[in-house]
Amino acid sequence: MYTTKTLQDEIRKLKKEKDVCILAHAYQSQDIWEVADYTGDSYGLSLEAAKVSQKTVLMCGVRFMAETVKILSPQKKVLLSAPGAGCPMAEQMDVEAVHSLKETYPDYTVVAYINTTAELKTVCDICVTSSSAVKIIRGLADKNILFIPDCSLGAWVSQQVPEKNIVLVQGGCPVHQQITVVDVMSARERHPQAKLLVHPECLPEVSAMADYVGSTTGIMEYVKKSDGMEFIIGTENSIVQHLAFDYPGQRFYPLSAACICNDMRRTTLMDVYHCLQGNGGEEIMLADEVMEKARGCIVRMMEA
């Protein structure tokens, strides 16, 4: 029988033997973070994906993140540790919908949140993540932007970049959108001294009440630099746990107990072990044509 510690030791041994790099999104659990070579937000994972030296990359996160690695490093073997882990928002729009939007909005620059499928990226001009969206959109030559599919992130970006004409279509994150203004009022009442830090996937009326709006890494960096003692966290509740581990002298409270992404939580340490053993996970396979067309969209984001 394994303990967490013996399983982690076995994973460290296997990844070295098999020349595997483990990338873990910020929402992965603490036991997975401890065996990962890199942890961070979607933007950080993309940068890392492009420069990994190992032959195989194991992604602990959701499918679009593993697809991004494959697109940026097509010669590598890319594994998704939990094949069932998808981001529901990534499936909210299809290629036909974008084609018909382009007819309605000809000459608009199509900006896709990175939480989209590889196929959808083939018909978009540039990707953004929550940490890069404001800077990238501000720097685009075009004034007219079609932003898909997260209307909450899009609305927050529109406020930061009022000089652009941004049309928002058509969805959002079902996990973050559950958080309400009532949740904010109740958390503020219970913790009046705490700073409120939220992810821009939250509804615009929730983001409007926050002390800071930023990506998963942005939220963690804010805490690192802050001299505050208490924080209310408005994103997936795994971040509350990570912050509590990193800063035991400070207190962290979830904005909503419901902010749990079952897809992000699908991956277990045992999945990582099975994947490294070669009897679990899924190898990401994408058609060359899809990778070529989608690559431009991601590379433009990284070069912006």
Give the residues lining the site for ligand 13P (CB under 6 A).
26, 41-42, 87, 115, 129-130, 173, 199, 201, 215-216
Which residue stretch of 50-58, 72-80, 170-178, 266-274 sits at the interface with ligand SF4 (rule: CB under 6 A)?
A: 170-178
CB 18 within 8 A of CB 56: yes
The one of ligand 13P, ligand SF4, none whose footprint includes residue 263, by CB under 5 to 8 A per kind, is ligand SF4
Q: How far is the CB of 179 from ligand 13P (least distance, A)?
A: 12
Handedness of CA 212, 214, 219, 225 (dihedral sign): negative
Count of residues engaged in binding ligand SF4, rule: CB under 6 A: 14
Q: 153 phi and psi, to 5 degrees? A: -60, -45
Q: Which of residues 74-103 bind ligand SF4 (CB under 6 A)?
A: 87-89
Q: Residue 26 or residue 151: which is nearer to ligand 13P going by CB?
A: 26
Q: Residue 89 or residue 123: which is nearer to ligand SF4 going by CB?
A: 89
Contact flag: residue 197 with ligand SF4 (CB under 6 A):
no
Q: Which of residues 46-65 bind ligand SF4 (CB under 6 A)?
A: 62
Q: How far is the CB of 134 from ligand 13P (least distance, A)?
A: 13
User: What percentage of the chain's residues is helix, strand, coil (to nearest 5)?
Assistant: 45, 20, 40
Q: Residue 86 or residue 228: which is nearer to ligand SF4 going by CB?
A: 86
| C-alpha span between 100 and 243 (Å, rounded) | 43
Which residues are within 8 A (CB) of 284 and not within 5 positions of it... i.e. 6 or more apart?
Answer: 63, 66, 67, 69, 70, 78, 79, 80
Residue type, 68: T
Contact flag: residue 263 with ligand SF4 (CB under 6 A):
yes
| C-alpha span between 283 and 114 (Å, rounded) | 20
Q: How far is the CB of 206 from ligand SF4 (least distance, A)?
A: 14
| C-alpha span between 288 and 280 (Å, rounded) | 24
- Positions in the binding site for ligand SF4 (CB under 6 A): 62, 87-89, 115, 173-176, 201, 236, 261, 263-264
